[in-house]
A = this chain, B = another copy of it.
């Protein structure tokens, strides 16, 4: 029998994620925001008491962290690893059964633009690195990438502080497999910074009930002007 450590500890974590209620909670937290137990209960579609038990298990296992604030308890994903695990599982899920790809209208919004933990994903999320590459602002290669000198100027002018959160070992530019597009989008400090900035500029708007992001009129204009991204690049198909 192979190592006890390998199989069984993987199973323990996967079993936690493997319950629909818990998976929906984790999915909701992929938005990157901290949510209260009550909100998570709503997302999962189960009662408060049930939710409490689930959250206890998830924090116990180190998938979530808890922050008490008054009579609320805010939960968030414990690490980017957890978010990445969710993304990969999603990629496996959609790749899996060759048949079966009924995408509802609700999912269409997710495919256009959504958060992936703390960065941008979806068609817009994958179009962005395309644009940056095309203009020589970043060079992507095999799961990682680098920002060119020209890109540094461009991004600084756009309002990004690439030195922010340096240290802590988090890479500046990393790519992450997009489960809906099956192409890379930007993660790492660059990806997180970009999303922050896009939200701050009001180009994108969060949706309180879902990970889907709305592209505002200012965003449509801005992406076209500053990133050479016409709307056709992120709308359906």
Contact = CB atoms under 8 A, between A and B. Distances in A.
A210 B3 CA distance: 7
Give the one of A9, A16, A24, A171 with max B CB within 10 A.
A9
Interface string A57-97: 00011110000000000000011011011101111111111
Contacts of A22: 11
A150 to B, nearest CB: 17
A226 interface: no
A33 interface: no
B8 A24 contact: yes
Interface string A83-123: 01110111111111110000110110010000000000000
A195 interface: no
A92 B142 contact: no
Contacts of A30: 6
B142 A12 contact: no
Contact of A11 (B19, B85, B91, B142): B19
Contact of A4 (B26, B44, B106, B175): B106
A211 B1 CA distance: 11
Interface size classification for chain A: 35 or more
A136 interface: no
A79 B84 CA distance: 17
24 contacts: A2-B43, A2-B210, A3-B107, A5-B110, A6-B30, A7-B20, A7-B27, A8-B23, A8-B24, A9-B90, A10-B27, A10-B89, A11-B18, A13-B92, A18-B18, A61-B96, A62-B96, A63-B92, A78-B96, A81-B91, A84-B88, A85-B89, A142-B174, A144-B175
A188 interface: yes
Interface in A116-174: 140-146, 171-174
Interface string A188-213: 10000000000000000000011110
A9 B102 CA distance: 12
For the complex of A and B, list the 7 residue pairs with the smallest distance between their C-beta atoms, beginning with the closest.
A62-B96, A144-B144, A15-B18, A7-B24, A142-B144, A11-B23, A142-B171
Contacts of A78: 96
A10 B86 contact: yes
